[in-house]
Every structure is written in C-alpha cells, then in structure tokens.
Amino acid sequence: MKATYRALLEHGYAGLSISRIAEELDKSKASIYYHYDSKDALLVAFLEYAADQFESSVATETGDDPRADLEHVVEKLLPRQLDEEQRQVQSVVLGLRGQAVTSEPFREQITAMDDRLASTVREIVDRGIEDGTFRDVDSWRVAEHVLATVNGAMYARATTDRENAVVAARDSLSAYLDVTLVGESSPPESESSTQADETSTQEAQPSTQEDGT
Amino acid sequence: MKATYRALLEHGYAGLSISRIAEELDKSKASIYYHYDSKDALLVAFLEYAADQFESSVATETGDDPRADLEHVVEKLLPRQLDEEQRQVQSVVLGLRGQAVTSEPFREQITAMDDRLASTVREIVDRGIEDGTFRDVDSWRVAEHVLATVNGAMYARATTDRENAVVAARDSLSAYLDVTLVGESSPPESESSTQADETSTQEAQPSTQEDGT
DNA sequence: GTCTATAAGCGGATAGAC
DNA sequence: GTCTATCCGCTTATAGAC
C-alpha cells in the first residue's frame, strides 16, 4: 500500500502500473501478483487504505464547544497553510476520486467517505443546536453546504494555482457559519482585509468569455 | 474534437487512446497523426475545445436584476435536475480536470477556467452593489465562496451517488446569498422541507470513523 | 488527407524454478 | 514469497503507398 502510494504520487493515477509499484517496493512484478489477484483488486484495497489514511488525517477530538469543533474540522481539511504531507494525501485521494466518474466500486467508496464526513459535520451542528449554542437550523443542509464548499476548495487547491481563492472561500465559509449558526456577530478577525495581498491570479482579469458587462 | 469527446465519454480518460478516437471518427489512427503531432498535442487542443463547450453551456444573459443573474449562473452549473447532455459535458470536464493534479499544461487551463468563472460571479455581485441591490460585501470573497461550493457540488454529483446532498448544498447556498447580499428576508420557498424525501444515502449513518459521540 | 503495415515498447498477467 | 522469463495485447508513433 505504501509503495502504491508513492508510485501514485510520482506518476499520478494515469501513470500507475504494477511495474512502477514493484519498483517502489523493490520487489518484482510477479511478487505483487502473489498478494493480489489483479491490478483492480490491488486498487480496491488501496482505495480503502487511502480512505483510512485520509480520514485519520482529518479525525479530530470533539470537545464541548461546537463552534470550535466545526472550525477545527474545516481547519483540518482546508488549512490556511497546507503542509507537504497533507498536500500529498489530498492529491492522491483526489486523483482516486476522479476515477469514481467511470468506476462503480470507486464511486461507492467515495460516496461512503462523503457520507461519513457529512455526518461528522452534521453531528457537531446538532450538538450545538441541542445545547443552545446554535440556532435551530437545518443541520443536514448546513452540513452539506460546508462539505461542498470544503470539497470544492480542496479540489481547487489540487487542480489549480488559485491559492488565494481557497483561502477566500474558507474565510467566507467561516463568516457564513457565524451568521447562520450563531447570529449576527462577526468573529474577532476583520471582514474585508484578510484577503492576502491582491497578488492573486484572478484579480484584474476582466473575463474573456463574454461580451456583456 | 467531437470524436475525442465521444471516446472520452465511452471509455473515460484512463481508457482514452488514439485507436478509440479513430474508431469514433471512422478514420484510421494514422490520419489523426496527420493533424496532430502527438497524443499530448491532441489532448491540449481538446482541453481548449472542452473548456469552450463548457463555458458556452454556462454562458447566460445578464440582465438588470443581479440577484436573478446570480441565481441563473448557479442554476446553469447546478441545476436541480441535470439533463443527460449536461451530465456528460460535466463528467468529461471533471475527468480532464483531474489530470490537472499531475499535468502542468492542464493545470494552467483549469486555473484560467476557474478565474473566468469567478470573475463572472464577481462582476454580477459588483453590479448589484453599485446599483444598491446588494449590501457592500467583499465581492471577491463571496464569488470564491460561490465557486467553491458550486464546484464541490458538481464534483460530488460526478463522483458520488449523493444527489440529495447536491440539492441541499445548492439550496443552502441560495439561502446564504439571500442573507449575505440582500439582508434578512428568506426567499418564497421553505426553510426546512425542501430536502426531498429522506431516502438519501447519508441519512441515519452514524459515522463509522470515530468513537466519540 | 487517408490508408495499410509495421516498429518498438509497455501494460497486465502467468509459468515454473528456487 | 520471491524471482526470472515469457506471452500477448494494445499503445504511441512512423513509413510509404495511393
């Protein structure tokens, strides 16, 4: 599994082959077939392994401050500064996830992963509602909104060079949670000056696609 | 390009080969090499073509009601009911986007696409602020939030069986826009009963990953 | 522009020795 | 369990005829 992980990192999903895995493993191709019946079987096993890695990299203690717990989850998935190891785990998982478009078994696994993540978020929101910290919102909807935004931003981080966009989305999500769950108060930090330094890639780019405006 | 599109639809990115494209085209493999120097060159050309298709499938008239324009854009990307053709365009684009994790040229193109989309959204928000329809929010942040959520939900639609989750995220996003941009009023529709029929996949699934709770 | 034929190589997978 | 050797199919890409 670790060798597969390394091979995936180096060559991407498209470039993943038994030879490459064997190389990382420092064993022969044939030896891999002793442990797995086929490449597909190995891949299915790996997807499970990768899901575990990803989820334990996200797992977080939940305390008795729901708003902090929520922020903690978001921070785990979408840290302002992504360290190299997390970047790698995420791009591998995203690479596999892409295969779910055309592969049934992959799709099932990914669906289960998102289900678990969404439940985690929803449970935190529910707890907050019960203990009176949060307003009586539709926890399911809110959880799905959070998950979609976080996934979208992770996805952008892995497939574009729009780092600032990721941070902006994250900040806006936090502000949204404050307004929706807690009420009107804005958090200690500012409201319109956290956005780095305007050196962003999407600033001052007047849209090449349409003629309107 | 159209033959490549069809081949991609039938076999996915992993299964895309010159033979397959030639087959769709009803010409020989060699004839393709007369028009493109290499598979990579063809792929780069196709990415551009696909981006155009995608963007023109999203393009929308912008009128003088910013809130409606915004809703229109979201509806185009994340319709409540996705028709077959749109589903296909989206899964092809998503499939290509996945390659951006490991391919520089792909990454650049995808970055440009997201930049354009974000600008479109931001311009609508700016227009709304100027004409007094919207509050004086940070249009950049809001636009990135919208884009991340929409992308995340599209991504979920293409890689999971969580249809209800997509609709939930979309509804929550609309509600968020109403609150943030317009003010307190909630839209005509309900607040906690639009969520289909609870037959969703993520309901009643008590999270297998942690022991807390 | 398009074809057939073919080169050269890598992919997954197996046989059989150790 | 691991190795070497090997099979076979398919891939990208080219040569050269029409």
Confidence of residue A200 (pLDDT cuts 50, 70, 90): very low
How far is residue A30's CA from residue B210's CA, in Å, rounded to a whole number? 38
Quote the pLDDT of residue B201.
45
pLDDT score of B116: 97
Compute the distance between CA of residue A113 and CA of residue B160 in angstroms, rounded to an integer.
9
Number of other residues whose CB lies within 10 A of the CB of residue B37:
9
The whole-chain average pLDDT of chain A stands at 88
Please, are residues A109 and A51 in contact by the beta-carbon 8 Å criterion?
yes
- CA–CA distance, B94 with B12 (Å, rounded to integer): 11
Q: Model confidence at B211, in pLDDT bands (50, 70, 90)?
A: very low
| pLDDT tens column, A32-60 | 999 999 999 999 999 999 999 999 988 88
Nearest Cα of chain B lies from the Cα of A97 at a distance, in angstroms, of: 7
Q: Which of A103-107, A194-198, B170-174 is predicted with the least confidence, judged by mean pLDDT?
A: A194-198
Cα A60 to chain centroid, rounded: 15
Rounded to an integer, the average pLDDT of B193-203 is 45
Joined tokens for residue A43? 């891949």
Using 50, 70 and 90 to split pLDDT, how confident is the model at A140? very high
Q: Within chain A, where are the H helices?
A: 2-11, 18-25, 29-35, 39-58, 66-77, 84-99, 104-130, 139-159, 163-177
Is any atom of strand C within 7 angstroms of residue A20's beta carbon?
Answer: yes
Q: What is the reported pLDDT for B184?
A: 62
Q: Is the pLDDT of residue A202 over 50?
A: no
Q: Is the CB of B27 under 7 A from strand D?
A: no
pLDDT given at position A184 = 62
Q: CB-hemisphere CA count at 13 Å for B203? A: 11
What the block records as the tokens of B156 is 């979920």
pLDDT of residue A208: 41
Position A188 pLDDT exceeds 50: no
Interatomic separation, CA of residue A3 and C1' of nucleotide D1, rounded (Å) = 17
Please say if the pLDDT value at position B204 is more than 90.
no
H-type alpha helices, chain B: 2-11, 18-25, 29-35, 39-58, 66-77, 84-99, 104-130, 139-159, 163-177
Cβ burial of B88 (10 Å; 0-12, 13-18, 19+) is middle
Chains A–B, number of C-beta pairs less than 8 Å apart: 247
**End-to-end alpha carbon distance in chain B:** 52
**Nucleic strand D under 7 Å from the C-beta of B10:** no
Smallest Cα–Cα separation from A103: which of B35, B197, B159, B182?
B159
Contacts of A172 in chain B (CB under 8 A): 138, 141-142, 144-145
Tens of pLDDT, residue by residue over A152-177, are 999 999 999 999 999 999 999 999 99
pTM for the model stands at 0.88
Question: What pLDDT is recorded for position A194?
Answer: 46
Average pLDDT over residues B92-113: 95
Q: Return the structure tokens found at B26.
A: 């009803």
Cα–Cα distance for residue pair B43/B103, rounded to 1 Å: 11
Alpha carbons A26 and A28: distance in angstroms, whole number: 7
Strand C bases near protein CB (under 7 Å) are 1-6, 10-16
- pLDDT band, residue A210 (cuts 50/70/90): very low
Which of chain A's residues have a Cβ under 8 Å away from the Cβ of B98?
13, 94-95, 97-99, 101, 159
Distance CA A45, CA B179 (A): 45
Which of A92-101, A177-186, B77-86, B141-150 has the least mean pLDDT? A177-186
